[in-house]
């Protein structure tokens, strides 16, 4: 059974979906799902949420401010989206009869980094799952750039930010202009017809600067709850070495699953089937 939900974050009305746990298999655990860069709750998450709820977990999905059905300006500022997750945690903790549930976070891509960060900010979180994410935006996004390319990018961003703060001129670009690597382009082309409104959004070009400045390097050793990570060994979006960095710097009870595929392969086919089975087992027994 699903139910539409509404809650506020920084005065903005955010919308989501609650998937009620199968009462026969009820685990008394709540999974809060955090989607990735530019995503919406209807893209990819429902098949996870339906499987989780059928297996006894209560699940929440939602749209960050400015995306999907939620209020706000369409932009990606990690600190704001993290506050949205914290608002949903407080909402979920007091929703209907879920007060006694243990709460876990599930995050994918950029949402995976958010989930890891939030696990250090909220004592209610008992476990965290993060797949195909990164620890340091700048290190991840500039790994393959030579010095000339890096200097050019930094100068472009500097000029755009200057125009924003002095002339209130915000350059906005299509999602495809930012997610322009081969794996992302193939993914966007595949789902574009079903999610035209979501994929036709325009984001401030300074979004690149916001992601480059986002890092969870300094908080990894603070995570003290069970953590399950998934790394795609052929990932060109969030590089495998970033997942390895996260794993190597965690001091908690941790596991790392390797996938022989690219960034988006975790969402489909045999890889999805295998991973969802691993997730169900982990969420059932890890905490």
Question: What pLDDT shows up at residue 167?
Answer: 84
Q: Find the domain containing 105 and state its range.
A: 2-143+214-285
Closest by CA to 120, choosing from 17, 25, 218, is 218
- The percentage of residues in the chain with a pLDDT greater than 70, rounded to a whole number, is 100
Contact, 211 vs 76, CB < 8 A?
yes
pLDDT tens per residue across span 58-71: 999 999 999 999 99
pLDDT tens per residue across span 229-256: 999 999 999 999 999 999 999 999 999 9
Count the helices and strands in the chain (H runs, E runs). 11, 10
Tokens 């919406």: give the residue: 40
Assess if residue 71 is contained within a domain.
Answer: yes
CA distance 120 to 221: 10
Assess if residue 276 is contained within a domain.
Answer: yes
Give me the residues paired with residue 129 across strands.
Answer: 106, 228
CA distance 149 to 160: 17
CA distance 34 to 111: 5
Residue 33: pLDDT over 90: yes
Question: What pLDDT shows up at residue 260?
Answer: 97
User: How does the average pLDDT of the chain come out, rounded?
Assistant: 95
CA distance 138 to 209: 9
The mean per-residue pLDDT over the stretch 174-189 comes to 91
Residue 277: pLDDT over 90: yes
Assess if residue 221 is contained within a domain.
Answer: yes
Assess if residue 152 is contained within a domain.
Answer: no
pTM of the model: 0.96
Assess if residue 184 is contained within a domain.
Answer: no
Assess if residue 176 is contained within a domain.
Answer: no
Question: What pLDDT shows up at residue 276?
Answer: 98
> C-alpha distances in angstroms, 156 versus 161, 175, 177, 207, 276?
9, 18, 15, 13, 41
Task: Read off the CATH number of the domain in which 237 is found.
Answer: 3.40.50.1820
Assess if residue 228 is contained within a domain.
Answer: yes
Q: How many domains does the chain have?
A: 1
Question: What pLDDT shows up at residue 169?
Answer: 81
Name the band, by pLDDT with cuts 50, 70 and 90, for residue 138: very high
Assess if residue 178 is contained within a domain.
Answer: no
CA distance 228 to 276: 12
Residue 197: pLDDT over 90: no
Question: What pLDDT shows up at residue 114?
Answer: 98
Residue 176: pLDDT over 90: no
Name the band, by pLDDT with cuts 50, 70 and 90, for residue 124: very high
């Amino acid at each position: 059974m699903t139910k539409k939900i509404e809650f506020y974050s920084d005065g903005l009305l955010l919308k989501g979906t609650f998937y009620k746990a199968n009462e026969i298999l009820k685990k008394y655990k709540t999974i809060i799902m955090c989607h990735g860069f530019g995503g919406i709750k209807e893209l990819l998450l429902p098949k996870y949420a339906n499987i989780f709820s059928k297996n006894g977990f209560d699940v929440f999905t939602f749209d960050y401010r400015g995306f999907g059905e939620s209020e706000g300006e369409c932009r990606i500022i990690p600190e704001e989206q993290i506050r949205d997750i914290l608002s949903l945690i407080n909402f979920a903790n007091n929703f209907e009869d879920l007060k006694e549930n243990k709460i876990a976070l599930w995050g994918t891509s950029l949402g995976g980094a958010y989930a890891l960060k939030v696990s250090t900010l909220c004592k209610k979180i008992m476990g965290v799952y993060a797949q195909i994410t990164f620890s340091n935006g700048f290190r991840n996004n500039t790994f393959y750039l030579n010095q000339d390319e890096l200097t050019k990018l930094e100068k472009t961003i500097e000029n755009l930010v200057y125009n924003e703060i002095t002339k209130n001129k915000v350059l906005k670009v299509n999602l495809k202009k930012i997610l322009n690597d081969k794996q992302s382009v193939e993914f966007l082309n595949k789902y574009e017809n079903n999610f035209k409104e979501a994929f036709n959004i325009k984001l401030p070009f300074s979004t690149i600067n916001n992601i480059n400045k986002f890092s969870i390097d300094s908080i990894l050793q603070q995570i003290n709850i069970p953590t399950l990570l998934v790394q795609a060994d052929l990932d060109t979006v969030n590089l495998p070495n970033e997942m390895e960095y996260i794993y190597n710097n965690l001091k908690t009870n941790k596991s790392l699953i390797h996938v022989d595929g690219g960034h988006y392969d975790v969402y489909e086919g045999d890889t999805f089937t295998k991973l969802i089975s691993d997730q169900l087992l982990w969420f059932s027994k890890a905490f």
